[in-house]
Amino acid sequence: DVKVTQSSRYLVKRTGEKVFLECVQDMDHENMFWYRQDPGLGLRLIYFSYDVKMKEKGDIPEGYSVSREKKERFSLILESASTNQTSMYLCASRGGLSYNEQFFGPGTRLTVL
Amino acid sequence: AQSVTQLDSQVPVFEEAPVELRCNYSSSVSVYLFWYVQYPNQGLQLLLKYLSGSTLVESINGFEAEFNKSQTSFHLRKPSVHISDTAEYFCAVSRGGSQGNLIFGKGTKLSVKP
Residue B87, chain A, CB below 8 Å: the answer is no
Contacts A105 to B, Cβ<8 Å: 43
| Structure confidence at residue B91 (pLDDT) | 96
N-to-C CA span, chain A: 37
Contacts B9 to A, Cβ<8 Å: 40
User: Does pLDDT of A100 surpass 90?
Assistant: no
Q: Within 13 Å and on the Cβ side, how many CA atoms surround B111?
A: 7
B32 within 8 A of B96, measured Cβ to Cβ:
yes
CA distances from A39 to A10, A42, A54, B52, B96 (A): 17, 7, 30, 32, 28
How confident is the model over A23-82, as pLDDT tens digits?
Answer: 999 999 999 999 999 998 999 999 999 999 999 999 999 999 999 999 999 999 999 999
Q: At residue A68, what is the residue type?
A: R
| Structure confidence at residue A70 (pLDDT) | 96
How confident is the model over A81-92, as pLDDT tens digits?
Answer: 999 999 999 999
Distance between CA atoms of residues B6 and B4, nearest Å? 7
Q: Would you call A42 and B46 a contact, using CB atoms and an 8 Å cutoff?
A: no
Q: Would you call B99 and A107 a contact, using CB atoms and an 8 Å cutoff?
A: no
Q: Would you call A90 and B44 a contact, using CB atoms and an 8 Å cutoff?
A: yes
Q: Would you call B44 and A104 a contact, using CB atoms and an 8 Å cutoff?
A: yes
> Chain A: residue nearest B5 by CA?
A42
